[in-house]
């Protein structure tokens, strides 16, 4: 928050104002640099500058006093954090230990320290996935980027899948003709894109997942 500047005058500005008033109040006075009267004027100008600085500090002090009154405390000082990449020499070791508090200097001469000890290793990115929680998608972008540099990704490439298991020892005994007239009503997104199966015995007396006959009713 930028506080208002109540008085921007410096000592030189006060001296200029004094000189502008001399013809009206003391026309016979011709001040010079080392003259006693002008020395007093310069002292007054310096004191006035200090008073102006104190006056300009009042809004900030009042604002801090207000924050203190409503019990808002300043945040604790936090260290600046930045990601750092270490590059190993091609002909050097495959693994280098980086001690804790190793100092690094940025281009702006700011000094950073590593937070903990770790080992820098030569590695190749094995896989890369794009996860979008809102769209409920997981896309393998690593395999696509290997084929083309400017790859396009959409939800059709998603690896995301969900499985819902429903069990009832009496309701789904289809072998005994129980549950054949039953239906399941679910209200979930993308229902038409789901596949429904039940674990049962087919006409060949083999236990396996058997597809339901699914119908959709618009409400």
Mean pLDDT along residues 139-154 = 65
Take residue 133 and report the two structure tokens written for it: 């929680």
Report the predicted TM-score, pTM, of the whole model to 2 decimal places: 0.35
Question: Would residue 93 count as lying in a domain?
Answer: yes
First to last CA, the chain: 55
Domain that holds residue 189: 163-211
CA–CA gap between residue 100 and residue 120 (Å, rounded)? 13
Number of domains in the chain: 4
CB 155 within 8 A of CB 131: no
CB 153 within 8 A of CB 161: no
Q: What is the pLDDT of residues 77-117, one digit of tens each?
A: 777 777 787 888 777 777 888 999 999 888 888 888 988 89
| Pair 119, 129 in one domain | no
| Pair 155, 108 in one domain | no
Question: Would residue 3 count as lying in a domain?
Answer: no
| Pair 169, 195 in one domain | yes
Question: What pLDDT shows up at residue 202?
Answer: 77
pLDDT at 181 over 70: no
Confidence of residue 45 (pLDDT cuts 50, 70, 90): very high
Question: Would residue 1 count as lying in a domain?
Answer: no
Question: What pLDDT shows up at residue 20?
Answer: 93
Question: Would residue 219 count as lying in a domain?
Answer: no
Q: Would you tell me the crossing angle of helices 36-56 and 58-69 to the nearest 10 degrees? A: 30
| Pair 22, 64 in one domain | yes
| Pair 25, 61 in one domain | yes
CB 137 within 8 A of CB 160: yes
Residue linked to tokens 């001399």:
22
Question: What pLDDT shows up at residue 200?
Answer: 73
Residue linked to tokens 């009267």:
37
Question: Would residue 4 count as lying in a domain?
Answer: no
| Pair 18, 36 in one domain | yes
pLDDT at 180 over 60: no
């Amino acid at each position: 928050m930028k506080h208002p500047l109540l008085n921007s005058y410096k000592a030189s500005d006060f001296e200029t104002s004094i000189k502008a008033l001399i013809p009206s109040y003391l026309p016979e006075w011709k001040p010079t640099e080392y003259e006693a009267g002008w020395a007093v004027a310069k002292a007054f100008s310096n004191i006035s500058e200090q008073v102006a600085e104190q006056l300009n500090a009042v809004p900030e002090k009042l604002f801090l006093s207000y924050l203190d009154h409503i019990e808002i405390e300043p945040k604790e000082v936090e260290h600046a954090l930045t990601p750092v990449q270490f590059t190993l020499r091609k002909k050097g070791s495959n693994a280098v230990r980086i001690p804790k508090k190793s100092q690094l200097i940025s281009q702006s001469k700011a000094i950073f320290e590593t937070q903990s000890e770790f080992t820098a290793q030569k590695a190749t990115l094995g896989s890369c996935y794009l996860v979008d929680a809102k769209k409920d998608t997981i896309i393998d972008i690593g395999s696509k980027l290997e084929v083309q540099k400017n790859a396009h990704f959409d939800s059709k490439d998603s690896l995301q899948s969900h499985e819902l298991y429903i069990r009832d020892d009496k309701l789904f005994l289809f072998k005994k003709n129980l549950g054949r007239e039953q239906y399941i009503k679910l209200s979930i997104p993308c229902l038409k894109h789901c596949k429904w199966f039940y674990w049962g015995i087919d006409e060949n007396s083999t236990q396996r997942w058997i597809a339901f006959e699914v119908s959709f009713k618009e409400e």
